[in-house]
Structure 1
């Protein structure tokens, strides 16, 4: 899968020709979908699978069109919902479904002012030569928000492309529609099991282990400080977790983690610190994935280091008890 950024990427057509399965007659047309794909949940996965299936049927390239920043982050940054995943995590998740290209458009003043008709003409038709478009059941687009399934169907008749709307995907244990909003709500309630069902995989953070203040080591609980590169996180508190090292054989290392702003030591950006049980390897600079299982408690401020150390000891015991029950 290749990442292409911007409307004027000179490598777009050449790359499309290179990936055409019919080498004697390169085809630069495509089957595409558009959206935020935050979380790449079961609903998104159904769309991606349909795009790939249709692209193979028509011998065309498959394209996922996304925006950076996401539209609501551009219009109302303070009110925009917290992201379930960073761009890199989203790109990696999409790559698992056999997509040829992720086409990332910068959502700026120009793009935000394009009407739905202008977006169809300039992006889908002129730039991508679209032949088939797969959209979610709630898809809307265009600066005037007039773009929907009906408008796309009508445009398709004029420009020679077809449009398909996917069926709503519901949660396994309830009739609730799978959506990024629902998953945020589940995570905020620490309902990690239901979130996993909606995502099709456990919820996790990915990042690189960096040097911290070494406070955990001084307390007798050394931690791996994971760089989140986020300004907001979907939840905060202390959690039972498993950590996976990138490039190793999917071995989970059990632990307890603090997500938040570390109020006791005066840090104000989201942080992730993971204490692993019986682990003494040097993993600075390693990329890791941290999977969340259960909430232990909320973040809280303590009257001194001794009180903090006592509470961490309780947190560790509770996390170990969780894994003990899981194994029994």
Structure 2
């Protein structure tokens, strides 16, 4: 099936509840005090994150407590290295939804600024986790790092936590079942930078998606007989240039497609742009939000001996994309109701 209507039913009660964004901890609500916590950027909410959350959720339930996820905005790497392009694996809405779906009760977003970034690890545990959140316990990966210059680690957390009345449980990092490579957001980004979409999706436990506004392009795709919906991304070269099999969600319609991310070397070799040709679809989409779900990498971007040769190749790309999408065993994000919360806000 190439085109269908997405159900609007959300998974689980309260699963679309937005995260609580805090500039400071002065007015921390009572409902987020006295629970178990998990801490991290949780970008992508990959299988490793979900394993930690599920274990922490079990502990919290046994102690009749809530599970609180503490995360940050902006991403610490974006704050500390502002000139480096960081490929986003989730936005805050997706992150909050996926964390709740995994077992979190409340999602807290702390403003990551110079004050927070300069806080030593021990001060963070004492001042934030124990004093402000009144946390009963924390579950973290054994490779957990935190605090000023990421000097704090899991061993330090396990050492100082119990003396402050904090239960600390450390669990080994999850690994990719196909390669035995440790699963991390950094590893997922590295896979996407190489065009290894299947590996990235396997680590995420779902297909990677990106949401953006459809903008006017140069209409060249229409002239070639393959009209495209164009999205400005800001990815730079952090996503591999090339052709992808994708699915899209726009106006509650799910459809298959072929996407090109790159600089269009056949024509202008300009700034990187995401262009999506939606199969078996026609209509005016300008100004609408679209979510693109990446299924597979088909080939690198390249030049051709002629425009006709390029058109022939695009036709083959479309056929190959249909084949990949039809045979892919990974569950589509759009086949659950996850994507409904990402429709235009």
Q: What interval of TM-score do these two structures reach, taking the shorter chain for normalisation?
A: 0.7 to 0.9
TM superposition shift of 1:52: 2.2
TM superposition shift of 1:99: 1.8
TM superposition shift of 1:34: 1.0
- Equivalent position SS for 1:12: coil
Match of 2:176 among 155, 171, 174: 171
Structure 2 CA distance for aligned equivalents of residues 236 and 327 of structure 1 = 23
Structure 1 CA distance for aligned equivalents of residues 262 and 127 of structure 2 = 42
Structure 1 CA distance for aligned equivalents of residues 109 and 93 of structure 2 = 12
Aligned pair count?
A: 310
Check if 1:314 corresponds to 2:313. yes
TM superposition shift of 1:130: 0.8
TM superposition shift of 1:244: 2.8
Equivalent position of 1:296 in the other structure: 298
Structure 1 CA distance for aligned equivalents of residues 217 and 179 of structure 2 = 42
Structure 1 CA distance for aligned equivalents of residues 324 and 124 of structure 2 = 54
- Equivalent position SS for 2:182: coil
Structure 2 CA distance for aligned equivalents of residues 144 and 320 of structure 1 = 49
Q: Check conservation: 1:89, 1:206, Cα contact below 8 A.
A: no
Q: Check conservation: 2:188, 2:203, Cα contact below 8 A.
A: yes
Structure 1 CA distance for aligned equivalents of residues 30 and 238 of structure 2 = 39
TM superposition shift of 1:139: 0.6
Q: Check conservation: 2:248, 2:293, Cα contact below 8 A.
A: yes
Structure 2 CA distance for aligned equivalents of residues 315 and 195 of structure 1 = 25
Equivalent position of 2:66 in the other structure: 61
- Equivalent position SS for 1:96: helix
Moved more, 286-295 or 166-175: 286-295
Equivalent position of 1:100 in the other structure: 105
Structure 1 CA distance for aligned equivalents of residues 302 and 168 of structure 2 = 51
Equivalent position of 2:47 in the other structure: 42
Structure 1 unaligned residues grouped into runs of 5+: 17-27
Equivalent position of 1:223 in the other structure: 228
Cα shift readout 1:56-111 (whole Å, capped 9, x = no counterpart)? 22222221111222223222334565333344433343232242222222222111
Cα shift readout 1:205-236 (whole Å, capped 9, x = no counterpart)? 22233333433223322111234365564222
Check if 1:120 corresponds to 2:125. yes
Equivalent position of 2:285 in the other structure: 283
Q: Check conservation: 1:192, 1:294, Cα contact below 8 A.
A: yes
TM superposition shift of 1:310: 4.0
Change (3 A) 1:48 1:185: same
Structure 1 CA distance for aligned equivalents of residues 158 and 303 of structure 2 = 56
Moved more, 313-322 or 6-15: 6-15
Q: Check conservation: 2:72, 2:109, Cα contact below 8 A.
A: yes
TM superposition shift of 1:169: 1.1
Check if 1:234 corresponds to 2:239. yes
Match of 1:272 among 271, 274, 295: 274
Structure 1 CA distance for aligned equivalents of residues 192 and 325 of structure 2 = 21
Equivalent position of 2:22 in the other structure: 6
TM superposition shift of 1:138: 0.8
Q: Check conservation: 1:83, 1:234, Cα contact below 8 A.
A: no
- Equivalent position SS for 1:130: coil
Q: Check conservation: 2:246, 2:325, Cα contact below 8 A.
A: no
TM-score (norm 1): 0.82
TM-score (norm 2): 0.79
Q: Relative CO higher for 1 or 2, CA cutoff 8 Å, sep ≥ 6?
A: 2
Structure 2 CA distance for aligned equivalents of residues 221 and 294 of structure 1 = 20
- Equivalent position SS for 2:318: helix
The Cα RMSD (Å) is 2.8
Structure 2 unaligned residues grouped into runs of 5+: 1-16, 328-345
Match of 1:32 among 33, 37, 42: 37
Change (3 A) 1:302 1:140: same
